[in-house]
Amino acid sequence: MNKVHDKVYDFTVTSLTGAPIPLSQYRGKVLLIVNTASECGFTPQYKQLQELHQQLHDRGFEVLGFPCNQFGRQEPGDADAIGNFCERNYGVSFPLFAKIDVNGSDAEPLFTHLKHAAPGLLGSEGIKWNFTKFLVDTEGNVVKRYAPQTAPSSLVEDIQNLLQK
Protein backbone atom coordinates (compact mmCIF):
# COMPACT_ATOMS: atom_id res chain seq x y z
CA MET A 1 0.00 0.00 0.00
CA ASN A 2 1.38 3.40 -0.99
CA LYS A 3 1.71 6.11 1.63
CA VAL A 4 -0.53 9.08 0.93
CA HIS A 5 1.49 12.26 0.59
CA ASP A 6 -0.16 15.58 1.30
CA LYS A 7 2.90 17.82 1.25
CA VAL A 8 6.14 17.97 -0.70
CA TYR A 9 7.88 17.59 2.69
CA ASP A 10 6.55 14.04 2.99
CA PHE A 11 8.93 12.80 0.26
CA THR A 12 12.51 11.61 0.37
CA VAL A 13 14.48 11.89 -2.87
CA THR A 14 18.00 10.88 -3.90
CA SER A 15 20.77 13.45 -4.27
CA LEU A 16 23.03 13.54 -7.31
CA THR A 17 25.64 11.76 -5.16
CA GLY A 18 23.19 8.99 -4.20
CA ALA A 19 22.32 10.09 -0.65
CA PRO A 20 18.69 10.05 0.53
CA ILE A 21 17.42 13.61 1.09
CA PRO A 22 14.20 14.12 3.05
CA LEU A 23 12.47 17.14 1.56
CA SER A 24 11.37 17.99 5.11
CA GLN A 25 14.79 19.68 5.39
CA TYR A 26 13.32 22.43 3.18
CA ARG A 27 10.36 23.03 5.52
CA GLY A 28 9.53 26.75 5.69
CA LYS A 29 11.15 27.54 2.33
CA VAL A 30 9.59 28.42 -1.01
CA LEU A 31 10.67 25.82 -3.57
CA LEU A 32 10.87 25.77 -7.35
CA ILE A 33 11.11 22.12 -8.43
CA VAL A 34 12.23 21.62 -12.04
CA ASN A 35 12.87 18.63 -14.28
CA THR A 36 16.08 19.50 -16.12
CA ALA A 37 18.25 18.30 -19.00
CA SER A 38 21.72 19.21 -20.25
CA GLU A 39 21.11 18.91 -24.01
CA CYS A 40 17.73 20.64 -24.38
CA GLY A 41 16.76 23.83 -26.15
CA PHE A 42 15.68 25.09 -22.72
CA THR A 43 19.00 24.18 -21.05
CA PRO A 44 20.07 27.87 -20.95
CA GLN A 45 17.32 28.27 -18.31
CA TYR A 46 19.91 26.92 -15.87
CA LYS A 47 21.41 30.44 -15.95
CA GLN A 48 18.14 32.09 -14.88
CA LEU A 49 17.44 29.35 -12.32
CA GLN A 50 20.87 30.00 -10.79
CA GLU A 51 20.21 33.76 -10.81
CA LEU A 52 16.88 33.22 -9.00
CA HIS A 53 18.62 30.97 -6.51
CA GLN A 54 21.31 33.58 -5.81
CA GLN A 55 18.86 36.49 -5.68
CA LEU A 56 16.30 34.92 -3.33
CA HIS A 57 18.11 32.13 -1.45
CA ASP A 58 18.82 34.27 1.62
CA ARG A 59 15.10 35.05 1.87
CA GLY A 60 14.16 31.36 2.09
CA PHE A 61 13.98 30.21 -1.56
CA GLU A 62 15.45 27.05 -3.08
CA VAL A 63 15.60 25.73 -6.63
CA LEU A 64 15.63 21.92 -6.76
CA GLY A 65 16.75 20.40 -10.06
CA PHE A 66 15.81 16.88 -11.13
CA PRO A 67 17.61 15.69 -14.29
CA CYS A 68 15.40 13.65 -16.59
CA ASN A 69 16.23 11.73 -19.78
CA GLN A 70 12.63 10.98 -20.85
CA PHE A 71 12.33 13.75 -23.45
CA GLY A 72 14.46 13.33 -26.54
CA ARG A 73 17.18 11.60 -24.48
CA GLN A 74 18.49 15.06 -23.64
CA GLU A 75 20.08 14.05 -20.32
CA PRO A 76 22.26 11.07 -21.30
CA GLY A 77 25.05 11.61 -18.75
CA ASP A 78 25.66 10.01 -15.40
CA ALA A 79 25.59 11.93 -12.12
CA ASP A 80 29.20 13.16 -12.44
CA ALA A 81 28.67 14.35 -16.02
CA ILE A 82 25.45 16.17 -15.06
CA GLY A 83 26.99 17.86 -12.03
CA ASN A 84 30.13 18.90 -13.91
CA PHE A 85 28.13 20.24 -16.87
CA CYS A 86 25.84 22.33 -14.67
CA GLU A 87 28.65 23.76 -12.56
CA ARG A 88 31.02 24.42 -15.47
CA ASN A 89 28.51 25.96 -17.87
CA TYR A 90 26.03 27.68 -15.57
CA GLY A 91 27.69 27.91 -12.15
CA VAL A 92 24.82 25.92 -10.66
CA SER A 93 25.00 25.90 -6.87
CA PHE A 94 21.39 24.90 -6.16
CA PRO A 95 20.74 21.25 -5.28
CA LEU A 96 20.60 18.72 -8.10
CA PHE A 97 19.18 15.28 -7.56
CA ALA A 98 19.55 11.85 -9.13
CA LYS A 99 18.27 11.40 -12.66
CA ILE A 100 14.61 10.40 -12.60
CA ASP A 101 11.57 9.65 -14.72
CA VAL A 102 8.73 12.15 -14.37
CA ASN A 103 6.11 10.18 -16.33
CA GLY A 104 5.12 6.53 -16.57
CA SER A 105 5.17 3.60 -14.17
CA ASP A 106 8.72 4.42 -12.96
CA ALA A 107 7.97 8.10 -12.30
CA GLU A 108 9.56 9.57 -9.20
CA PRO A 109 6.77 9.64 -6.57
CA LEU A 110 7.47 13.33 -5.87
CA PHE A 111 6.67 14.17 -9.49
CA THR A 112 3.53 12.03 -9.44
CA HIS A 113 2.42 14.17 -6.49
CA LEU A 114 3.41 17.45 -8.19
CA LYS A 115 1.54 16.56 -11.38
CA HIS A 116 -1.59 15.59 -9.48
CA ALA A 117 -1.50 18.70 -7.28
CA ALA A 118 -0.93 21.09 -10.20
CA PRO A 119 -2.19 19.61 -13.48
CA GLY A 120 -1.27 21.18 -16.79
CA LEU A 121 -3.50 22.40 -19.59
CA LEU A 122 -7.00 20.92 -19.64
CA GLY A 123 -6.23 18.96 -16.47
CA SER A 124 -3.47 16.90 -18.09
CA GLU A 125 -1.09 15.52 -15.48
CA GLY A 126 1.66 14.31 -17.80
CA ILE A 127 4.78 16.42 -18.11
CA LYS A 128 5.30 17.35 -21.75
CA TRP A 129 9.00 18.34 -21.77
CA ASN A 130 12.09 19.29 -19.80
CA PHE A 131 12.08 22.39 -17.58
CA THR A 132 8.49 22.07 -16.38
CA LYS A 133 8.48 23.99 -13.09
CA PHE A 134 6.44 23.59 -9.91
CA LEU A 135 6.23 26.33 -7.28
CA VAL A 136 5.79 25.16 -3.68
CA ASP A 137 4.87 27.39 -0.73
CA THR A 138 6.45 27.46 2.73
CA GLU A 139 3.90 24.90 3.96
CA GLY A 140 4.88 22.32 1.31
CA ASN A 141 1.79 22.88 -0.87
CA VAL A 142 2.12 22.91 -4.65
CA VAL A 143 0.91 26.35 -5.73
CA LYS A 144 1.48 26.54 -9.48
CA ARG A 145 2.87 24.71 -12.50
CA TYR A 146 4.77 26.51 -15.27
CA ALA A 147 5.37 25.33 -18.82
CA PRO A 148 8.89 24.56 -20.07
CA GLN A 149 8.98 27.73 -22.18
CA THR A 150 8.17 29.94 -19.16
CA ALA A 151 11.37 31.83 -18.35
CA PRO A 152 12.47 31.40 -14.73
CA SER A 153 13.10 35.16 -14.54
CA SER A 154 9.36 35.74 -15.07
CA LEU A 155 8.57 33.89 -11.81
CA VAL A 156 10.17 36.46 -9.47
CA GLU A 157 6.89 38.13 -8.51
CA ASP A 158 5.15 34.82 -7.76
CA ILE A 159 8.10 33.68 -5.65
CA GLN A 160 8.34 36.98 -3.77
CA ASN A 161 4.61 36.89 -3.01
CA LEU A 162 5.07 33.50 -1.34
CA LEU A 163 8.18 34.65 0.54
CA GLN A 164 6.19 37.55 2.04
CA LYS A 165 3.45 35.32 3.49
Q: Catalytic residues, which ones? A: 40
Burial class (CB in 10 A: 0-12, 13-18, 19+), 98: middle
Distance CA(111)–CA(124), nearest Å, equals: 14
| Ramachandran angles phi, psi of 58, nearest 5° | -65, -15
DSSP string, 54-118: HHHGGGTEEEEEEEB-TTTT---S-HHHHHHHHHHHH---S-BB--BBSSSTTB-HHHHHHHHHS
